[in-house]
Amino acid sequence: MITRRDFQGCGPRRFFHSGFCSFLPAVLLIACISSAAAAPKSKAEKPYALIFGTVWGPDDQPLYGVKVKIRLAEDKKARWELYSDHRGEFAQRVPVGKHDYVVWADLKGYKYGGKTLQLEKDVEVHVENDERADIGLHLKYGV
């Protein structure tokens, strides 16, 4: 017959003071190292150029949610479409190499203060290699 006396001295205090606490960190360290070694190595990231810009409103404040389009100069249709963030900024990775791009804002349906806006002019960007090109898209009130 098992009595309460049989379990005395086998409580959690004795379990943790028996050396388990010194053994556990070593087990966790080995588990972490083996999982890191078994994880597949990520492919080397391809190089790229970056077109980074800000969309500015008529009052020289950055504008959120403006659709920005980017195309190669020799193309007729946009290759990339993105939106400006809460700081009016946008960024698009483009291929490395000597290329000319045209960047503009697609303002269909976009209102600012109840008024329509228009882009002052498309922005041409020249990229030579894996560089960052900073631009600004300046909008004005439409006619």
Residue range 69-106, pLDDT digits in tens = 999 999 999 999 999 999 999 999 999 999 999 999 99
> 112: buried, middle or exposed (CB in 10 Å: 19+, 13-18, 0-12)?
middle
Q: What is the gyration radius of the CA atoms in the chain, in angstroms?
A: 30
State residue 76's pLDDT score.
96
Contact 68, 101 (CB under 8 A): no
pTM above 0.75, yes or no: no
Residue range 30-60, pLDDT digits in tens = 666 666 555 565 677 899 999 999 999 999 9
Q: What are phi and psi of 24, to 5 degrees?
A: -60, -45
Number of helices and strands in the chain (H, E):
2, 9
